[in-house]
Amino acid sequence: MSGASRVVVIGAGLGGMSAAIALAQAGMRVTLIEKNERHGGKLNVLETQGFKFDLGPSIFTLPQVFRPLFEGDGRKLEDYIDLRRVDPQWRNFFEDGTVVNLWERTEDMRAELAHLKDGTEAFADYERFVEYSRAQYDVVERGYLRQGFDRFGEFLRFYGLKDGRAMDWRHSMAGAIRQRIRDPYLRDIFAYFIKYVGSSANDSPGFMNLMPNIQLEFGLWYVNGGMYEFAWAFARRLDELGVESHFGCEAVKIEREPGRVTGVVVCEGSTTRVLPADYVVSNMEVIPASEKLLGESSRQLKKLSRFEPACSGIVVHLGLDRVYPQLAHHNFFYSRKQEAHFDRVFREKRLPDDPTIYLVAPTRSDPTQAPPGCDNIKILPHIPYINDKHPYTREDCVELKKLCLDKLERMGLTDLRKHIVVEDFWTPFDIEQSYYSNRGAIYGVVCDRKKNFAFKAPKRSRDFDNLFFVGGSVNPGGGMPMVSLSGQHVARMILEQQGGTR
């Protein structure tokens, strides 16, 4: 072990922990440092007064992506977490009182859509759209996701003309939906799948319509006991593999020489020291790390400007002294004009005046998340990242919270405010400060046809051969399975590089 290469991983988010595990599995000496006091990054938790609030992700998809990290020594993912399938996957509420469930099984969708005006037509469109979504998923998965491409050239070489045509480049995500779906409710539902990457369906390329397939083909899951159990699973795995972890330990500088990095300067309380490294993996996002850890000039930082942040959000966790039985585990309360809502948030960078609100009520799958007779809900409308075009304040975010509560009360959660017994409130400023995310972004880099064609920053530094990035700001982007993929791809790139230099 003493001759093994030393890797320092900065950040114990899912991207950093995935890289650390994959590298340790391959026999490398890994040190993981995290400025906060616990594992998980945005996968975070708050336990108070009998309520257990998952502060970050609530939707778990593509379990197969995580399997390689938990396999080996005769073990499997299920030895670490208890996954439960959630169905209906989403319950969708509209201002006119219409409610549409999204079910995993096609036959359940047939029955569901039969309630709509022109239900037969809606179901025919639904089936055709799901087929299109599967085709987009298949083509993107076998190249971009599986191979871990970072550059347009790699992409073109792999896909060539035939697959290039199969991938929907030409339309926006919303445009491709409009072409295939006539029902206005289904249009809004499919467009809001872009939530998973914090972007706009009006500006993302058509192939991002692969997202419904992710949950319809492979299921939507909940980690029993709360999503934070997954962070504990990672912690166990890191321990088993002998990864040395330091919490309350912040990277303040990456040491460099021409073409290479040599170590990380860390600060623990009042102590500063250098951790020498053969490789450095940063789970701190590319732009903040380039600015703060590498001290890049504004000219160099400008080159990264196309990797604009994805959206942020206000996140409201409420403990209630009653249960609203109309809620499913995952619920969406739609904007009256969703396309205008996307433009307001993503193009104009203004706080929404009528947001689509995501509301999660985990006690539907797991009663342990709230005391008996009580409910635990999280409310998350997407809002612009912290920006200079239309700057907002914490007070503006409080006003937006009121608007959201008004909307939920109007749409059926009668007297919601009167039943709040516990409240926890996060603004983009809290998200930025807690995880050092770029301008409070929740999902790393935005997907945008014009700005970056849905490409995120490359995983390997252009300037330093042995410096790599993982997490939502690099390919393939944000969301739990994607950031884990970036960690696993980076481990493979380091091992290949090491093989090449031996």
Ligand X SMILES: Cc1cc2nc3c(=O)[nH]c(=O)nc-3n(C[C@H](O)[C@H](O)[C@H](O)COP(=O)(O)OP(=O)(O)OC[C@H]3O[C@@H](n4cnc5c(N)ncnc54)[C@H](O)[C@@H]3O)c2cc1C
Applying CB under 6 A, which residues contact ligand X?
A: 10-16, 33-36, 41-43, 56-59, 250-251, 283-284, 315, 380, 435-437, 442-444, 471-472, 478-480, 483
Angle ∠(175,181,184) on CA atoms, nearest 5: 95
Contact criterion met (CB below 8 Å) for 310 and 362: no
Task: Record the tokens describing residue 123, joined without a space.
Answer: 């179901």
Task: Record the tokens describing residue 446, joined without a space.
Answer: 């935005």
Query: Prior bond to 367 cis, omega within 30?
Result: no
| CA-wise closest residue to 307 among 446, 482, 182 | 446
Specify the residue, 245 or 338, whose C-beta has the smaller distance to ligand X.
245
Specify the residue, 123 or 190, whose C-beta has the smaller distance to ligand X.
190
3-state class of 365 per DSSP?
coil
Shortest spacing between CB 283 and ligand X, in angstroms: 4
Specify the residue, 15 or 362, whose C-beta has the smaller distance to ligand X.
15
HEC profile of 259-316: CEEEEEEEEECCEEEEEECCEEEECCCHHHHHHHCCCCCHHHHHCCCCCCECCEECEE
HEC profile of 102-114: ECCCHHHHHHHHC
Shortest spacing between CB 251 and ligand X, in angstroms: 4
Shortest spacing between CB 482 and ligand X, in angstroms: 7
Shortest spacing between CB 487 and ligand X, in angstroms: 7
Specify the residue, 185 or 234, whose C-beta has the smaller distance to ligand X.
234
Shortest spacing between CB 408 and ligand X, in angstroms: 17
Specify the residue, 181 or 200, whose C-beta has the smaller distance to ligand X.
200
Contact criterion met (CB below 8 Å) for 335 and 11: no
Q: Is 429 exposed, middle or buried (0-12, 13-18, 19+ CB in 10 A)?
A: middle
Give the Cα separation of 333 and 407 in Å (integer): 8
Give the Cα separation of 453 and 298 in Å (integer): 24
Specify the residue, 125 or 250, whose C-beta has the smaller distance to ligand X.
250
Q: Is 68 exposed, middle or buried (0-12, 13-18, 19+ CB in 10 A)?
A: middle
Shortest spacing between CB 61 and ligand X, in angstroms: 6
Specify the residue, 159 or 477, whose C-beta has the smaller distance to ligand X.
477
Shortest spacing between CB 449 and ligand X, in angstroms: 21
Give the Cα separation of 393 and 304 in Å (integer): 26
Specify the residue, 219 or 479, whose C-beta has the smaller distance to ligand X.
479
Shortest spacing between CB 157 and ligand X, in angstroms: 27
